[in-house]
Amino acid sequence: MAAEYDALVAAPPAAQLVGHRIFVFDEIDSTNTYALEHGDDGTVFVADRQTAGRGRLGRAWHSAPGLGLWFTVALTGEAIEGLSFAAALSVRDAIASLAPGAPLKIKWPNDVLCAGRKICGILVEHRAGRTALGIGLNVRHQREDFPEELRAKAGSLATEIGGRWDRAEVLRAILTELDRRIILLRGGRLAEIHRAWADACALAGRAIRCNGVEGRVREIDARGALVVDAADGTHAIFSGDLEYLDGQ
């Protein structure tokens, strides 16, 4: 087991739903897959290395050993609306609590950027009464640790903020933020989380390109869709890779 997590596993945040039990794997195919098959409500699965880490839009997620925080929160019951918004806000605020003033942003739909580089991705999957909230955070990578094709856009806490990072400390901070927000969502407070996330995306009025649509963002609607005014009319876009056409 990755020894770095030992103390957290031995004394998990018991008062919380999220992370009251934490399991660590040296290697697994994907923590999301495992959580979808085995997860009890609030259990967290962490892996030092994933051999088949999954990203959004059917992509692979680069999950090298020793460098990143690769984990999934399992939740049971109905799918929770707004979970990915809550997760992006939680990662941003957890990192900000450990590195005040770090230049963090949320990029629609739920990437966390630091100094303009993607440091974190979020993948929510739901199957047969179980939800896997998967979070991949690049922690100790140096530029050369990323595959060539990611180097221009990816960053880590180490490359963008510097210093030495303890993955267990980062995980504990994220789980605490997540716990608070998941309890809000389960208590019917989606509108609050949605508003905070949409404000953080800061897209209204911006010129963007996404899924071949170019135009100006009118708003992020209640479903989380990007509403874009383009030359051929208004489009609602639910997922995709967003490019800003008017600067970072």
Which CB sits closer to ligand BTN, 215 or 226?
226
Judge contact between 227 and 235, C-beta under 8 A: yes
Peptide bond into 109 cis (omega under 30): yes
Please tell me the number of Cα atoms within 13 Å of 115 on its side-chain side.
12
Axis-axis angle for helices 83-98, 167-186 (nearest 10): 140
Q: At its nearest, how many Å lie between ligand BTN and the CB of residue 185?
A: 20
- Closest CB 62 distance from ligand BTN, rounded Å: 9
Q: What is the CA radius of gyration of the chain?
A: 18
Between 70 and 215, whose beta carbon lies closer to ligand BTN?
A: 70
Instruction: Supply the minimum distance, in Å, between the C-beta of residue 28 and ligand BTN.
Output: 9
Q: How far is the CB of 234 from ligand BTN (least distance, A)?
A: 27
Distance from C-alpha of 186 to C-alpha of 194, rounded to nearest angstrom: 14
Nearest Cα residue to 52 out of 26, 70, 24, 28: 28
- Residue 237: strand, helix, or coil: strand
Choice between 104 and 215, CB closer to ligand BTN:
104
Of 15 and 128, which has the nearer Cβ to ligand BTN?
A: 128
Residue nearest ligand BTN, Cβ-based: 121
CB of 59 to ligand BTN, least distance (A): 6
215 vs 237, beta carbon nearer ligand BTN: 237
User: Which residue, 12 or 53, is less far from ligand BTN as judged by CB?
Assistant: 53
Strand pairing report for 104-107 and 233-237: unpaired
- Residue 6 CB, nearest distance to ligand BTN (Å)? 20
Closest CA to 82 of 133, 120, 138: 133
Strand order across the beta sheet in which 117-127 lies: 22-28, 44-50, 68-76, 130-138, 117-127, 111-114, 104-107
Q: Interface residues with ligand BTN (CB under 6 A)?
A: 30-32, 50, 53-56, 59, 61, 63, 70-72, 111, 121-123, 134-136
